[in-house]
Structure formats: C-alpha cells, structure tokens
Amino acid sequence: MIAHGQDLHDLFSQTLDGLGEMSRLLEEEARSLAARDTEALELTASKKQKLAFLLNDLAARQNHLVRACGFQGNEGGVAAFLDRLDPESPQTRALLAEWREIVRLGSACRKQNELNGAYIALLQRHIDSSLNFLYGASSADATYGPDGSRRRGETSRQSFSA
C-alpha cells in the first residue's frame, strides 16, 4: 500500500492546486456577478469548466487507485485507505494533511458555487420580473411549458408604446 502512497501524494498535490485555482475562479465569478460583467463571466465560466474536467479526472484516478487496493472508489474509500496506513509515518501524516485540505477546499468551493448559483437565480428572477413588466404581464401570468421552461402569460396591457 505504501507504494501507492507516492502516487496518491502526486494526485493530492495536483488536486490541491486545482482546488486552489477553482476557489480563485469562484471568487472571481462572484466579483463579476456583482459587477454584472458578462464578458468576465463568460471567460470565468470557460476556465471553470476546463478545471472541473481536470478535477473530475483527478478524482477518478484517486478512486481507481484506492479501488486497486480493495477500497471503495469514493471519498469514504480514500479515507479508509488513509486510515490503514502507518499513522507514525511522515508520508502518512503528509497524506492525511493533504486529504483534510482537499476536503476543506472542496467544501469551500461547493459553498461558493452554491452562493454564486443563488445569486444568478436572483438576477434571473429580477430579469424575468423586468421583462414581465415591459411586456405587461404579471408574475402570476407566467406559466410553465411542457419542457419546464417558463413562458410569459398573455399581455393585457402595454407598459410602453413606440
């Protein structure tokens, strides 16, 4: 198992680098949302998507490694693998510290992503409300189509004329 420790260390190091970058991108996304900077948002979204693919690949490789050692290929399997290593070994202590940081950073990234998503939903509701006002439809008139997309009701009045 110790032979896999170095492989896991390499994967953990790459994962930590990736999560650090993802955290930075999520903070950048939050600033872009607050500034309503669509160009910056598009650029950040593209970078996030590429980084998410990399992080997913690293997680799959970590899971494959621990499965090869007889553990489940998930977060719990990685933790179980680490629990089986010699706790007095400096390599084990380093792996445990890296794993704790991965879990902490992963959780922080999920939380920031959820906050950004909630802010996007709030902005979308604001835009929908503004469009409903411009089209003369009330929010109560908005309906959902068969595909779940929101449609505006019939307009009974106009807010403006040209």
CA distances from 91 to 32, 96, 159 (A): 40, 9, 69
Nearest in space to 11 (alpha carbons), one of 61, 45, 81, 78: 61
What letter represents residue 103's amino acid?
Answer: V
pLDDT of res. 136: 75
Residues 68-74: contacts with CB under 8 Å, at least 24 apart: 68/4, 69/1, 69/4
> In which residue ranges of the chain is pLDDT below 50?
155-162
- Spell out the domains of the chain, with CATH numbers in brackets: 2-136 (1.20.58.300)
pLDDT of res. 92: 92
What letter represents residue 72's amino acid?
Answer: Q
pLDDT of res. 143: 59
pTM: 0.76
DSSP category for residue 143: E
Strand partners, 144: 150
pLDDT of res. 148: 60
Is residue 139 within 8 Å of 132, Cβ to Cβ?
yes
